[in-house]
Amino acid sequence: MPQAAWYTWFVRILLASTNKGKIDELRRILGEHGLEVAGLAGGMLTEEIETGSTFEENALLKARYYHSLTGRMVIADDSGLEVDALGGRPGIHSARYGGPAASDADRIMKLLDEMKDVTPERRGARFVCAAAVVWGGGERVFVEEARGHIIQAPRGREGFGYDPVFYYPPLGRTFAELSGEEKSAVSHRGLAFHRLAGWLKRSGLLDTIGPSDRINNPASGTSASS
């Protein structure tokens, strides 16, 4: 008897980001919900759009801007690290901490230098993520956080940004020592975008996505037909 493959719909959604680490992470997170993420082209920037004073405002500003350009549903996030001993810095400036040309390693070095005299009990910090979605009929934003503390030297090779110095006590490792699956289950970005994706699926908005934004993907497994 011939075998017929089952097919499942994947929906492609535009992510207002050029950050490769973030795009890869969100492809993994949202792929669990049948959503495929397409990041911005390399020449398209978001920094000049981020004029808000909160993570929520910046996430919505980016999503609104690229929705207005494309007419498509757009998702965006604004996220960062808030350190207790630094009064919440670097906060919304996390990506630009140390200057516009600074690398992840440069930003980590600047952070650790600022905290070199901070005692262990005062090294508490949190990662915050605001995940926004904007479409033709409205917008929503979901905010989540992950609490931990800043260690004195980087550990781990996974993740990106400040992950190597952000120690997460419930798992006893830094975010850079977690696998992608482990991190997405507990991280600020994972929690926020799992909520966003769940809401999108319940809302019925994905049912209105056009054919050009649907991707046919063969599911695992086959079925016998007579």
- State the catalytic residues: 78
Please provide the DSSP assignment of 130-158 as one string.
EEEEEETTEEEEEEEEEEEEE-SS---SS
Distances 212 to 23, 138, 215, 221 between C-alpha atoms, Å: 21, 21, 8, 26
Q: Tokens 């781990």, residue?
A: 156
CA–CA separation, 95 and 106 (whole Å)? 11
CA–CA separation, 5 and 158 (whole Å)? 35
User: Is the bond leading into 90 cis (omega within 30 degrees of zero)?
Assistant: yes
**In angstroms, how far is CA 200 from the centroid of its own chain?**
16
Torsion angle, alpha carbons of 104, 106, 110, 113, to 10: 110
- 37, two tokens: 């993420």
CA–CA separation, 220 and 218 (whole Å)? 7
